[in-house]
Structure 1
């Protein structure tokens, strides 16, 4: 073998080795690594299926004897709107903090029937009187039981003046709380009672026998306010007073001085006087005696 042949063979070996090394450098180990993970399917939470917290008592919404709290309302306001003592409402609903009620909450606003209720038969009808409430429980007349008003001869009832008839229906004897003039009459939307004129410090009298269920200034628009409960049906409210002379749960007699006239939360000295029948404002002129 000549020197040239030998050199050519060595050169061929070197080239072959270079190709081998190059081939090794371009193999799988130098290729970019693609990380592949097995995806795990997880449930996606649909916001429409998230449980919404319901307000207390929501299951009783719309039922007779229950009341749904509206924005801005307090237990005092609810008591006035339903014709109940706010303390009774707190007790019936086991409210440890009466001021902590929420919009949409459903409250019981009639006395629950409890064990030990007294049943009596009157004129063939059963009258149930729940026990255990500080207010007088309502009397429910069964079908076919005539009320005392309906039992009177129709001609006699028609002959009575409107105020006398309403007073007779209420079972109460009424007087004017102040002698001053009527500044503004009753309107179901604009004025839920009478605005009566007078002088600052003038006595404000209880319009009928009753019990004090609220004393204070916690009801916006009423100033220094007194609310009296007269029976299961009727409340009266006395607003804008200068001073309040009675306490809650105190029994008062018709004509008793309960406050002094003022202009608290009002543009002038006046008494705003309301009569509420089962919580609904009614025209006081239908109950007060003619002047």
Structure 2
């Protein structure tokens, strides 16, 4: 690296080649310092270790606020709706969760239940959501993939959890005989789980916080962030460079590229491809290195990976063309993705043509 970075809040320099960092999910009491992850099977080069050791860090809420696996068991049953009942009251009576009850009975409008209606109450373990809990932290505490919890509870965009509600936790589907700590230690996250489980829970009547203007005004890590409502309509190239790997299947079995890889000049500016709000900044997914996720409204998301400098913060509003980070030094590469409602789309079909 050419020199130290300004120490702005949530502003971090990262090593673009640090791909072997593990993400472990050990269970810790709420409020306690999360345990250190186990050593990587393939140690990083000493130069990279030294760079990472001296960097300012802004850990995500699922690391600073680990959830406790203190769910309660609820027996499957049938409930007959009484006059004056609401899904919230039924959930309190049965011990189940509002979302799980609605999903199990195909209820899309929670206020439209009728006296005499028979509702199926799904049995299982229910986790009580506390303020600041994130989906990733809850999933990691139980060692259950977050997408399975999303499906079991019928969660949908914008995936903001509400404190005081309960989440149905599916039964483990991992290696037989694994205990809770072993499943949690094997837990991994990906871009999709950050997008659907990265927001901290807020009170039932609370609204998400408005985006901030710059990195010097960071939002509290426990604040859920409001997203853009409408997409500005077009994307711009995120960096000047040559496409060296395209979207789609690779040569290896099961290999797939969810975006494009660009060879760029060392230290090149990485720019926001469209107006939006930063949803994530960090190094929590080893294979992506320094990663920035931006929401653009209408379900559009962009991802910028292998960054060596991250110069924005979660919850920051950005404009198309604004510098959000920089590539590494030397012969650097940057990975770029566009997703629509979380599904990867070929960026070359949406970016402006160029010679």
Structure 1 length normalisation: TM-score? 0.49
Greater relative contact order, per chain length (Cα 8 Å cut-off, separation 6+): 2
> Which structure has the larger Rg over C-alpha atoms?
1
Q: TM-score, normalised on structure 2? A: 0.41
Larger proportion of helix: 1
